[in-house]
Structure 1
Amino acid sequence: MHLLLVEDDDSLRATLERSLGRVGMRVTPCADGALALPLWRSDPPDVVVLDLSLPHVDGLQVLQQARSAGLRTPVLLLTARGTVGDKVAGLNAGADDYLPKPFDLDELEARIRALHRRHQGPGADAPADLQVGALRYDRSSGAMYLGHAVFDLTQREIALLRALMARSGKAVTKEQLFEQVFPGELDVQYDAIEVVVYRLRKKLGPTGLSLVTLRGLGYLLKVDAA
Structure 2
Amino acid sequence: MLASVTSRPAPLARPDGSPIRALVVDDEANLSELLRMALQNEGWDTRTAASGQEALNVIRDFEPDLMVLDVMMPGLDGMGLLARVRTAGNDAPVLFLTAKDAVEDRIAGISAGADDYVTKPFNLEEVVVRLRGMARRHVAAVADADPRLRVGDLSLDEDAYEVERGGIPIKLTAREFELLRYLMQNPRRVLSKAQILDEVWSYDFGGDGSVVEIYISYLRKKIDTLGDPLIHTVRGVGYTIKAS
Structure 1 moving runs of 4+ over 3 Å? none
Return 15-24 or 28-37, whichever deviates more. Answer: 15-24
124, 139, 143: which one pairs with 1:120? 139
The answer to whether the Cα contact below 8 Å between 2:23 and 2:47 also exists between their aligned partners in 1 is yes
For residue 90 of structure 2, give the secondary structure of its aligned residue in structure 1: coil
* Number of equivalent positions: 124
The letter for the 2-side match of 1:90 is G
Q: Write out aligned runs for 1:8-157 (5 A).
A: 8-121=27-140
For residue 70 of structure 1, give the secondary structure of its aligned residue in structure 2: coil
Query: Which one has the largest radius of gyration?
Result: 2
The answer to whether the Cα contact below 8 Å between 2:51 and 2:77 also exists between their aligned partners in 1 is no
- The Cα shift of 1:23 comes to 2.4
Where does the alignment leave 5 or more consecutive residues of structure 1 unmatched? 125-226
Q: CA-to-partner distance for each residue in 1:24-65, whole Å, 9 max, x for gaps?
A: 121110011111122112111111001101121011000011
The separation in 1 between residues aligned to 2:140 and 2:36, in whole angstroms, is 26
For residue 121 of structure 1, give the secondary structure of its aligned residue in structure 2: helix
The separation in 2 between residues aligned to 1:55 and 1:104, in whole angstroms, is 25
The answer to whether the Cα contact below 8 Å between 2:66 and 2:94 also exists between their aligned partners in 1 is yes
TM-score norm. by structure 2 comes to 0.48
The separation in 2 between residues aligned to 1:10 and 1:46, in whole angstroms, is 22
With a CA cutoff of 8 Å and minimum separation of 6, indicate the structure with the bigger relative contact order.
2
For residue 27 of structure 2, give the secondary structure of its aligned residue in structure 1: coil
- The Cα shift of 1:11 comes to 1.2
Cα RMSD, aligned residues only: 1.7
Sequence identity (%): 41
Q: CA-to-partner distance for each residue in 1:162-181, whole Å, 9 max, x for gaps?
A: xxxxxxxxxxxxxxxxxxxx
TM-score norm. by structure 1 comes to 0.52
The answer to whether the Cα contact below 8 Å between 2:38 and 2:128 also exists between their aligned partners in 1 is no
Give the corresponding residue for 1:208: none
Where does the alignment leave 5 or more consecutive residues of structure 2 unmatched? 1-19, 144-244
Give the corresponding residue for 1:217: none
